Structure 1
């Protein structure tokens, strides 16, 4: 398997894939277990239901929580396996073909768009902050940035040299990009839900 535009293994990226995948999978697993508790006893008090604002029960029972006809966490249980496998494979010396990276980037783009939609639904429709959902947001956003910047900087996704160079430079600033994204979400949540007022 060949990896266009890259002569060295993206080790740091691989480590992130594994860490993000494990965290994302655990969040999906925890949400799945909470959903099973709800199915067994609709009156159960879920461990993630901390307050009327910070809870996951309302999210799980809403139509937004089962967009494709099954609980959303099942997507996480299956989807987060991919970054773990890819990360471990890279660390083991694997090099993936262009088509593989493009499909992987497409999958993460879907995950990113879906998460942004879920964030909007939580903040503007449901009026809740789901703890395990937020963990998913926490790892999905930087993982998307990392993959898109990687396929751009390596030329896997064809782009002018200036864009490739810019992507390579931005890769070093990826943590800041993620923090800025979190800050934007936090500001919107504050204006929409008065999080600080609810806490204090």
Structure 2
């Protein structure tokens, strides 16, 4: 298969667009919340529902500005990429192998960052940020889908059996995602006793 030619995958493309739009909206909402707090010191965020479920603790922590500026600004820039890639696939674009590898590196970086943020939220800050959870909810399946896409298309060198398995596993991405959600929910319950605080 040519490096630049892969079959058009409309379902995959639509998912990238939907995930990108949801992730971008979550990042935008968190950015606006942070601006509101900066303009009105001490103001509670509109997504502060309780001591457990809130955005303020996350936004005002050092973890919420890991690189010296609010983390949601990263999302405002980064979530545009899946939207553009998804639209381009629907339009018939074909990307070179190097492009897909760089795209996957970005998605894997997002997944790594999300795993770290989940651990910080649950085990350090002791809060569940609603808009953060929206971001987590779309990053996880996007990582699974992009990883399997690279394998099934042979973008990452793999044998025929691996490519066939990756293609079959694409149908299981929702279940894999649900499994990841369950792991996060169990960790949150064990650490924060979420159910007793609802």
TM-score where L is the length of structure 1:
0.96
- Give, in angstroms, the shift of residue 17 of structure 1: 0.5
Query: How far 1:7 moved relative to its partner?
Result: 4.5
- C-alpha change, 1:3 and 1:135, in structure 2 (3 Å) is farther
* 2:148 paired residue number: 149
Q: Match for residue 82 of structure 2?
A: 83
> Which whole-Å deviations, capped at 9, do the CAs of 1:25-54 have from their partners, x for residues lacking one?
000000000000110112212101000000
Runs of 4+ displaced beyond 4 Å? none
CA distance in 2 between partners of 1:146 and 1:53 (Å)? 31
Task: Kindly state the Cα deviation for residue 163 of structure 1 after the two structures are TM-superposed.
Answer: 2.0
- Change in Cα spacing, 1:177 to 1:72, as seen in structure 2 (3 Å) is same
Question: 2:163 matched to which residue of 1?
Answer: 164
Decide whether aligned partners of structure 1 residues 3 and 65 sit closer, same or farther in structure 2, where only a CA change above 3 A counts: farther
Q: Which runs of 5+ in 2 are unaligned?
A: none
Contact 2:141 2:177 in 1 (8 A): yes
Deviations 1:75-95 (Å, cap 9, x if unpaired)? Answer: 000000000000011111111
Question: After superposition, where does 1:107-186 map in structure 2 within 5 Å?
Answer: 107-186=106-185
Mapped to 2, the partners of 1:80 and 1:176 lie a distance apart of 23
Asked whether the 8 Å contact 2:23–2:138 carries over to 1, the reply is yes
Aligned residues: 198
The 3-state SS of whatever aligns with 1:53 is coil
Q: 1:181 and 1:161, CA in 2 relative to 1: closer, same or farther beyond 3 A?
A: same
* Aligned match of 1:37: 36
Per-residue CA shift, 1:106-130, capped at 9, x if unaligned?
0000000000000000000000000
Instruction: Give TM-score scaled by structure 2 length.
Output: 0.97
